[in-house]
């Protein structure tokens, strides 16, 4: 008998939870949609590539110039408004919580199999 795993694997990604996503503020909810390209979700309202990637460096949140106190406050504010992440082909119609997504990308923790039961 084959056991069903309790986690979901997502394609190999850069060590930045915002790389390759676009951010959409829907009022009561904020979502990040996978753009599958060189894009930084923290540069809102316009398409903007990751500055690390265009300088030939692999995107890494720990090294990013946007990983600073003012940006972190903005991220916490967005997360408090039910922020959901939609990686390409995963997460169903509800996506994943930003908390689960950050843990997955930065700490290599598997994503839940049913993201809405969080």
| pLDDT score, position 57 | 95
Rounded to whole angstroms, the Cα distance separating 33 from 94 reads 12
Residue 30 above 80 pLDDT?
yes
| pLDDT score, position 114 | 65
Average pLDDT over residues 56-80: 86
Specify the pTM: 0.79
Provide the 3-class DSSP secondary structure of residue 98: helix
Please compute Rg for the chain using Cα positions: 14
Confidence class for position 11, pLDDT limits 50, 70, 90: low
Euclidean distance between the first and the last CA atom of the chain, given in angstroms as a whole number: 28
pLDDT tens digits along 85-107:
999 878 788 899 888 998 999 99
């Amino acid at each position: 008998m084959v056991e069903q795993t309790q986690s979901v694997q997502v394609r190999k990604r850069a060590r930045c939870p915002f790389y390759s996503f676009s951010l959409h503020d829907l009022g009561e909810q904020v979502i990040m949609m996978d753009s599958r390209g060189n894009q930084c979700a923290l540069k809102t309202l316009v398409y903007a590539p990751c500055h690390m990637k265009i300088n030939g460096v692999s995107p890494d949140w720990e090294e990013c110039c946007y990983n600073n106190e003012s940006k972190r406050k903005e991220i916490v504010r967005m997360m408090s408004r039910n922020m959901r992440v939609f990686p390409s082909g995963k997460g169903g119609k509800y996506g994943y919580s930003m908390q689960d997504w950050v843990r997955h990308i930065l700490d290599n923790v598997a994503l839940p199999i049913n993201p809405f039961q969080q």
